[in-house]
Structure 1
């Protein structure tokens, strides 16, 4: 891994800025929406903005992934960070909710390419035995961006915080000119094989199921973040917590513990020599932490933040989950998968928040969240059960044509 240290560091810093910009909205949702005149509709307008951003990410994940497989991982590392940095700067200038919606969509589109391209490049540049450690470092650095976003949102005016996020992205862009694509990708391109055809993910039943399972395994992570943590102030009131709970502090605590969780899950994966077993352990722990969040008799903000931290730690299987998804597929589709899988996982927050809001009148906040959360965790467990192990797999291969088996 020594020869790829520079790539790992730049990829990690890029993901830091990516998560900073992505989570900044969760922290700034209430003050920014109120400042733009939403009144007492902060939950509804916030949901619209979050869902618009995630739709942008869903479309961007496919677009950047295809570009990464056709033109190279380096092209995505440049284009993605440039687009979301400019969009984040523009968020600092909005004066209406409509403008805010438009720029969150563009920011989401740009943000979708960063993680997939970074992990694909690192996976292809690092030897198999150190691949899990390298991708864990990248993701752990990125997760720290969530904690930094929480701090910025707590202590800076919301427009200044957005400006800071955009400026950091543009500064990092200048450091990426030394990055080169992997030799593995260069060989695939030189061979003239078809690359980045997203329809190939669906033209073979086995490949389509591999892709679907890769997405479903990660859905509980974004249930906890997109519903439980983003709407932490509303949940605290529903649970009878006495005292103010802010989204910024909930996100900060969540990501501080998520950093530890990502590192520990990655190390556990290396120790067990298994991606699947490590994810299974943390997924089971996530079920317990979500249950505690929704049912524990906590009356103080401090106790509530501890529960947020517990959820952050147990959902620390994110890095291993994305690495496992990238390792499932050949070099001709790997960037498409690595960019689109985390994006579709994040976009799953759209139907989950809509289901949560639809069920809330009948079941209440706690009942609605419990039902949606249980469904996401159960689906992830089933998907993981049938997904193949990828630890130590040689990644220098391409996908077979539809209907052919090795």
Structure 2
């Protein structure tokens, strides 16, 4: 892990893709050694302030998959064993991927035919925290095994581990953008997290006609299915070579190009703090707009004899809604940064790209008189405050919107 952190330090990642292979336990229960090893790894994640995109799997040797494959009964038993551990580490897990079935936990068709996939997915849903999203590799894993009328339907997101820019049959929803599955994923991804992974750079020769992956095409795909995360271990600088992500750093993007590709952006992103124009690259665009990008558009207030009515208009310029944000609030802080009053913002997680959420708050003047700042805080399950895409003061998890008289 230390080497990976050093390799990608300049990219400042906040997530780590974590695979735990249970190969040695395919015929027996997990022992304390297994849990100790996982604990030690998660302690390292915490040291580096990383959350896990977590997957369990058995098969790493795809040339001999059956030799490493457990029974359905053993998988379900392991899921039940893992339940308390997953709950204990909930704050360190961004998403849990379905895993368990097939090579690398990617649910290939052969492995799916040999396993009871519905029993396994239902065991995961039943034995994990209800606020933890589970991502599946293919759309039909969800459509075949989860009742659309159940609360579990809203817990199941997606991960596409074969991004090459253009549609492909190995994509989560297949190769046809006009298909019912593709359109269903486009709709459902508005409210669930979606993870992405490009092919390895060395596979460009065989899988992408020897070409680097197109940044505009990837950006359009990330937007169409509202991706919230993307692996930077793939097609970047593995093997000591420069691949697609490296090339994107040298490819400039402009407002005209983003308009041409119908991609969202914040006009101020092309300005520095002194209002001077700045050049931007496709790498920067995908880095900054992947998932959500929240910014306060404007603030207004009115007062009468008793109250002050604030309205803060919050716009999402990102490619996806902030589905992993579980708490947001407007707060009044005094000079010592203590909370004087707070208002929960309950519908932020579903704020779609280029939509604006008006946050209205009526506050008694007596409370306002005790405050020095109006601030905004929003957090995920790690409970770490996130920064708005505004040029304002940010400290201790608070975005400082106004200094009050």
TM-score (norm 2): 0.26
Larger helix proportion, structure 1 or 2?
A: 1
State which structure, 1 or 2, has the greater radius of gyration over its C-alpha atoms. Answer: 2
Q: Of Structure 1 and Structure 2, which has the larger fraction of its residues in strand? A: 2
Q: TM-score, normalised by structure 1?
A: 0.26
